[in-house]
């Protein structure tokens, strides 16, 4: 599949950028489609700089479409593209983290779940503008790093790419630590206060009811 896509990109230079953006968007909309093979083919066809900007356009287009599908049609349609379990899990996370920088951090440290978060955000009361700019800021660092080190691989060999990926994996593992790193960061930025306020309000309501 990757080889066929590479042949398309090299055989149709005028259509290649548009085809690349469309396929990259589909990799976000339809979760089982792997985005990595699209990215690798793009680096080989366009170089890492041009392919990064094309990929960013495709990723954001896919994210917006996923958000709008969930916002318009809700779970019955959204679950045709992503698993119901993951969707509900991330919907729960986003329901309490509606602030701008909360979504930025979720995007930044959970890039592998980009598609699930896009659908889950559409099921919340989050504004489209907040979703768009938070997603844009949050996904750029990871995507840029992937394309930069991917470009190093093609230009200078596997050693530089390996070192770069190893550093990224160490940082990713440090911050995520099974989700604890994200929680610490959100807590430091006072982003999780919404959840705490909600719990307190429920507690007060229960006391009044009794």
The tens digit of pLDDT for each residue in 45-68 reads 999 999 999 999 999 999 999 999
Angle at 129 between CA 140 and CA 184, to 5 degrees: 55
pLDDT score of 159: 60
Q: Which residues contact 108 (CB under 8 A, 6 or more apart)?
A: 138, 139, 141, 142
124, 94 contact by CB (below 8 A): yes
pLDDT score of 74: 81
Q: How confident is the model at residue 199 (pLDDT cuts 50, 70, 90)?
A: very low
pLDDT score of 148: 87
- CA-to-CA distance for 47 and 38, rounded, in angstroms? 13
Average pLDDT over residues 189-193: 46
Among the residue ranges 38-42, 87-91, 97-101, 200-204, the one predicted with the least confidence is 200-204
Confidence check: pLDDT of 174 > 60: no
Rounded to two decimals, the pTM is 0.72
Confidence check: pLDDT of 104 > 90: no
pLDDT score of 160: 59
Confidence check: pLDDT of 157 > 80: no
**12 or 102: which carries more pLDDT confidence?**
12
Q: Could you report the per-residue pLDDT of 107-140, keeping only the tens digit for each?
A: 877 777 788 888 888 888 888 999 999 999 999 9
- Secondary structure of residue 190 in the 3-state scheme: coil
CA distances from 158 to 47, 97, 139, 153, 173 (A): 16, 39, 24, 5, 22
Contacts from 161-164 at CB under 8 Å and sequence distance 24+?
Answer: none
- CA-to-CA distance for 129 and 25, rounded, in angstroms? 19
DSSP conformational letter for 29: H
Q: What is the mean pLDDT of the chain?
A: 76
Q: What is the percentage of the chain residues whose pLDDT exceeds 90?
A: 25
- CA-to-CA distance for 132 and 129, rounded, in angstroms? 5
Q: For residue 56, which of 8, 9, 4, 17 has the smallest C-alpha distance?
A: 17
**What is the CB neighbour count within 10 angstroms for residue 201?**
10
**25 or 199: which carries more pLDDT confidence?**
25
- CA-to-CA distance for 26 and 5, rounded, in angstroms? 14
CA distances from 95 to 17, 47, 89, 160, 191 (A): 36, 39, 10, 40, 12
- CA-to-CA distance for 4 and 156, rounded, in angstroms? 25
The dihedrals phi and psi of 29, each to the nearest 5 degrees, come to -70, -45
């Amino acid at each position: 599949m990757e080889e066929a896509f590479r042949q398309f990109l090299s055989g149709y230079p005028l259509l290649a950028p548009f085809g690349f953006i469309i396929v990259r968007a589909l990799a976000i909309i339809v979760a089982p489609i792997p985005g990595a093979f699209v990215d690798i083919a793009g680096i080989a066809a366009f170089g890492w700089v041009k392919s990064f900007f094309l990929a960013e356009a495709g990723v954001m287009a896919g994210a917006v479409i996923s958000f709008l599908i969930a916002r318009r049609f809700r779970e019955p349609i959204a679950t045709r593209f992503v698993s119901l379990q993951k969707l509900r899990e991330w919907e729960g996370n986003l329901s309490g983290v509606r602030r701008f920088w909360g979504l930025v951090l979720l995007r930044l440290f959970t890039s592998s779940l980009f598609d699930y978060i896009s659908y889950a955000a559409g099921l919340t009361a989050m504004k489209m503008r907040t979703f768009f700019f938070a997603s844009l800021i949050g996904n750029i660092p990871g995507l840029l790093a992937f394309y930069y080190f991917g470009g190093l691989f093609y230009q200078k060999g596997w050693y530089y790419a390996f070192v770069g990926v190893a550093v990224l994996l160490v940082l990713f593992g440090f911050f995520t630590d099974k989700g604890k790193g994200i929680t610490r960061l959100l807590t430091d930025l006072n982003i999780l206060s919404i959840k705490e306020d909600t719990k307190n309000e429920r507690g007060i309501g229960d006391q009044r009811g009794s």
